Amino acid sequence: MPLALAEFNSAPAAELRPTLTACLAVPRWVDTVLEGRPYADFAALSKSADSATPLRRNEIRDAIAAHPRIGERPTSNGSDADWSRSEQSGVDNADEFAAANAEYEERFGHVFLVCASGRSGEELLANLRSRLGNDPETELDVAGAELAKIAHLRLAKAVTA
């Protein structure tokens, strides 16, 4: 259930930490968001979240591990799994993704990460294929930017104005 901003501002940090971690599994980002409370409005909350980006490369690697492959549905339960299912609802070409994901993971050593919300499976597959041309450091930076986009979408689902 989403929290009203007033509830978010007054809830104990320990109660909010799992929700924020489901938005972005980066402890520094979670701490920044928690430490910025209380927020006058969602824009202030969003600005605080932005202040913890760009993410560091080690943070990106750790956070990627919390995400399922595009085209695969999460098998766990919880907000992050529910959000992943919703975000990937446009992916209808899972078989094509299996081969492309394998090639991507072989090249970069981690799952392909993209903000999938509102995008078609064809668009996501084209994005994956185009990113195969990146060098590993550039690709990690691109994945970090995608993680930040996902975090914003999830934060808006977790906290209402």
Please indicate whether residue 67 is annotated as part of the active site.
yes
Contacts of 76 (CB under 8 A, 6+ apart): none
Contacts of 60 (CB under 8 A, 6+ apart): 140, 141, 143, 144, 147
8-state DSSP, 1:
-
Q: What is the Rg, in whole angstroms, of the alpha carbon atoms belonging to the chain?
A: 16
Contacts of 8 (CB under 8 A, 6+ apart): 16, 37, 39, 45, 159
Residue environment code for 51-74, b if the CB has 16+ CB neighbours within 10 A, otherwise e: ebbebeeebbeebbeebbbbbeeb
Residue 6's Cβ-side half-sphere holds a number of Cα atoms within 13 Å equal to 0
Q: Which of 20, 39, 67, 104 is catalytic?
A: 67
Residue 123 and residue 99: Cα distance in Å, rounded? Answer: 16
Q: Which residues form the catalytic set?
A: 67
